[in-house]
Copies of this chain bind each other. A is one copy, B any other.
Amino acid sequence: MKKIINDPNKVVMDMLKGIELASPDRLKVVPDTTVIARKDAPVANKVALISGGGSGHEPAHAGYVGPGMLDAAVAGEVFTSPTPDQILEAIKAVHGGSGVFLIIKNYTGDVMNFEMAAELAEAEGIEVEKVVVNDDVAVENSSFTTGRRGIAGTIFVHKIAGTKAESGGSLAEVKAVAEKVNMNVRSMGMALSPCTVPAAGKPSFVLNENEMEIGIGIHGEPGIERKNITTADEIATELTKRILDDIDYTGSEVAVMVNGLGATPEMELYIVNAKVHSILADKGIKVYKTFVGEYMTSLEMAGCSISILKLDDELKDLLNAKSQASAFRV
C-alpha cells in the first residue's frame, strides 16, 4: 500500500484537522466530533443542511460546506457510514430553529444511521426531513444498497437545496426541491483500477492490465460488466446511453458533471466531456452548465462517472447562484 498517511486507523481525524486548518475563517470541526461545519453555524432561522457518509470520497462532503450549500458534513470512517451519534452531533451543532434537512446517499448503512439520528433529534424537539439520493443507473441493488446507489449526482442536490435554504426556503420547500433534483438526475461510473482502504492495506478487488469495469460503485462495488478497455469515446457513449435510456431528456436543458474518481488526470475527464457534449448535441439536448473535475471520489481509484441533470427554470436559477463552498464553483 502506497499512501501518504500516518496511522492507517487515524486517517479521518488527521484529515479533518487538515481541513479545518486550511480554512479556519470558513470551517470548524465541531469539538470532539467528526463533523465539519460552517464557521458561523448555527445560522438562525435558516434550514440547516447536512450530508455525509463514509470518508474517502473527498471533496465529498466537507468540500461542500459553506454558505449556499451544506451547513455540515459528517465523516464516517473510510467507506463506512458515520454512526447515529455522530450524525446527531451534526444536527445539534447546526440547527438554527428552522429545521434540519439530511441529504443521504442511498447505502443501507447510511440510510439506517441517518434515520436513527433523525429520530433521536426529533425526540429532542428538532424537526428533521431528508432525501435519499439514488442517481446511479448501473444496478438496481448492490452489495451495499437496496435500490439504486447514490453517487456524484448528490452534489447537485447539495447545491440546489443549499441555495434554496440559503435564500429562505422552508424545510418543506427545501425537501421538495431536493426531491425534484433527485428525480431528474442520473449518473453512471466506470473504473480502470481499484483503491485501497488504508486500514485494509490492500485493494478491495483486482482488474487485469487491460480490463475496466462499467457501472462500478464508489466503494468498488461490482458494476454491470468487466471488459477490455475501449476508447474514451466508447466509454462516454456507453455511460451516456444508459443515462439517457433511463429518463426522457428530449428537448431539455441539462447540467453535465464529468467526475474523476481519484487517480484520473483532468486531461482524460475533458476528453470524456467533449464526447458527452457531442452526443447530447446530436440528440438536441442543450447543455446549460458543465462541471469537470473531482467531485465525488473513491480514494485513488482511476475512472470517472457522468451525471446528467434535467433542468427547468427553478433549478437553473438555484444551480447558478454563487456558493461559498470550496469544492463547487458555478
Residues of A participating in the B interface, judged by any CB pair closer than 8 Å: 2-6, 11, 14-19, 21-23, 55-56, 58-59, 63, 192-193, 209, 212, 229, 231-233, 235, 262-274, 277, 287, 290-292, 294, 297, 299-300, 302-304, 326, 329
Least Cβ distance of A125 to chain B in Å?
35
Cα-based distance from A50 to B291 in the complex (angstroms): 24
Least Cβ distance of A288 to chain B in Å?
10
Is B58 within 8 A of A302, CB to CB?
no
Candidates B11, B229, B302, B303; contact of A267 at CB < 8 Å: B11
Number of copies of this chain that the complex holds: 2
Is B267 within 8 A of A55, CB to CB?
yes
Candidates B294, B304, B329; contact of A266 at CB < 8 Å: B294
Cα-based distance from A212 to B16 in the complex (angstroms): 25
Cα-based distance from A316 to B229 in the complex (angstroms): 47
Beyond A4-B304, A17-B274, 4 extra complex contacts between A and B, CB < 8 Å = A6-B231, A21-B287, A22-B292, A265-B300
Is A22 within 8 A of B273, CB to CB?
yes
Cα-based distance from A158 to B287 in the complex (angstroms): 30
Is B300 within 8 A of A263, CB to CB?
yes
Would you give 22 A-B contacts (Cβ < 8 Å), ordered by A?
A2-B209, A2-B302, A3-B192, A3-B268, A6-B271, A14-B232, A14-B274, A15-B270, A15-B271, A15-B274, A16-B270, A18-B271, A18-B274, A18-B277, A21-B277, A22-B290, A22-B292, A58-B270, A63-B266, A265-B300, A267-B299, A326-B329
Candidates B19, B23, B232, B294; contact of A5 at CB < 8 Å: B232
Least Cβ distance of A126 to chain B in Å?
30
Complex interface: chain B residues within 8 A of A267 (CB)? 11, 15, 55-56, 58, 299
Candidates B5, B23, B63; contact of A271 at CB < 8 Å: B5
